[in-house]
Amino acid sequence: MSMSLSFVHRYAVAIATAACTAILIVGTGCSSCFVTKPQTNENKGPELELNFVDTLNYSNNLKDIPAQRFNGSVPPTTLKNVQNNYNYQFFIVATDPGGIASFDYSASFGSGCPCQGGAGSGAGCTNSIASVVPPAGTVTPNPDGTVPILQFAIVGDSAAQERAFNECFGSFSNTLVTGTYTISATAKNPSGKKSGATWIIIIP
Average pLDDT, the chain: 81
Question: What band does 120 get if pLDDT is binned at 50, 70 and 90?
Answer: very low
pLDDT at position 202: 96
pLDDT at position 70: 73
CA 26 to chain centre: 17
Lowest mean pLDDT among 17-21, 33-37, 97-101, 171-175: 17-21
Percent of the chain at pLDDT exceeding 90: 56
pLDDT at position 102: 96
Q: What is the pLDDT of residues 22-75, one digit of tens each?
A: 434 433 344 445 889 999 999 999 999 999 999 999 999 999 999 998 777 899
pLDDT at position 7: 44
Question: What band does 87 get if pLDDT is binned at 50, 70 and 90?
Answer: very high
Burial class of residue 80 (count of CB atoms within 10 Å of its CB; 0-12, 13-18, 19+)? exposed
d(CA 105, CA 193): 17
**What's the whole-number mean pLDDT along residues 111-121?**
65
pLDDT at position 189: 97
Provide the 10 A C-beta neighbour count for residue 165: 22
Q: Are 148 and 39 in contact (CB under 8 A)?
A: no
Question: What band does 119 get if pLDDT is binned at 50, 70 and 90?
Answer: very low
Q: Which of 154, 153, 152, 150 has its CA nearest to residue 189?
A: 150
Residue 5 has pLDDT above 60, yes or no: no
Domains and CATH numbers, the chain: 5-203 (2.60.40)
